Amino acid sequence: MSIQWSGLSHHYAGGASPVVFPDFSLPTGRHLLLRGPSGSGKSTLLALMAGLLTPSAGRIQMAGTELSALNARQRDAWRGAQLGFVPQRLHLSASLSVLDNLALPFISAGLPPQPERALALMQQLGLQGLAARLPHHLSVGQAQRVALARALMRQPALLLADEPSASLDDAHAQQVLHLLLEVAAAQGVSLILATHDGRLVQPLAGRADWSLLDLAAGRAGEVQA
């Protein structure tokens, strides 16, 4: 998905000063590593790209769609159809089984749930046998993969992942990166990966299909370790 923005900033109500972003453009077919320390604006930028926050200034275009030209209802519909989001806090519904959590993206859009797709994704992500499990009986890594499966349920064109390795040990951090790359290749999804975790940055260094936006440095370019 092609993405571009210019003059983009967001001023939180009660925030001291606006969070300002350097102009940027991502061509179709490339993935984006959004890098920057805590507080540099990664989550804010993801929320702007998802149409969950409205810019205080500037324009943002996602595959040619100007998000600010859509009303809230249109943005919700656009997000549901185009985007998968794995947030920093996973927001799995505690009272619902894994399978029912995976049905939510369809049910909340008024569409029939697709248990076959859920089971196929669970298989692909190593979650087989966990369909009836409640979220608080999952390991951290399993819950992460359920959140990833849920984000993929509606076959999004773009997958946003916010600090996906934050609470994972080295082995699981590598596994999550591997899974993201695998599903991106298998399902033709563009990835936007927000992280300050060197364990995720290093394996992406020098890859021709990845771009970097470094929010601390205000710099775009190739991914470097």
Ligand X SMILES: Nc1ncnc2c1ncn2[C@@H]1O[C@H](COP(=O)(O)OP(=O)(O)OP(=O)(O)O)[C@@H](O)[C@H]1O
**Residues binding ligand X (CB under 6 A):** 12, 14-15, 19, 36, 38-44
Q: How far is the CB of 177 from ligand X (least distance, A)?
A: 17
| Cβ pair 198, 36 in contact under 8 A | no
List phi, psi (to 5°) of 59.
-130, 145
Q: Which is nearer to ligand X, 122 or 200 (CB)?
A: 200
Q: How far is the CB of 164 from ligand X (least distance, A)?
A: 12
| Cβ pair 203, 33 in contact under 8 A | no
Check residue 41 and give left, alpha or beta (phi > 0: left; psi -120 to 50: alpha): left
Q: How far is the CB of 122 from ligand X (least distance, A)?
A: 28
Q: Which is nearer to ligand X, 36 or 84 (CB)?
A: 36
- Total number of residues shown for the chain: 225
Q: Tokens 């029939």 map to which residue?
A: 112
Q: Which is nearer to ligand X, 38 or 71 (CB)?
A: 38
Tell me the C-alpha to C-alpha distance, in Å, between residue 152 and each of 112, 157, 166, 214.
16, 9, 20, 26
Measured between alpha carbons, how far is 122 from 120 in angstroms, rounded to an integer? 5
Q: Which is nearer to ligand X, 12 or 29 (CB)?
A: 12
Q: Which is nearer to ligand X, 38 or 95 (CB)?
A: 38
Tell me the C-alpha to C-alpha distance, in Å, between residue 184 and each of 209, 222, 224.
11, 19, 21
Q: Which is nearer to ligand X, 77 or 217 (CB)?
A: 217
Q: How far is the CB of 134 from ligand X (least distance, A)?
A: 27
Q: For residue 128, count other CB atoms closer than 10 A to its CB.
A: 10
Q: Which residues contact 197 (CB under 8 A, 6 or more apart)?
A: 163, 165, 166, 173
Q: How far is the CB of 160 from ligand X (least distance, A)?
A: 12
Q: How far is the CB of 109 from ligand X (least distance, A)?
A: 26
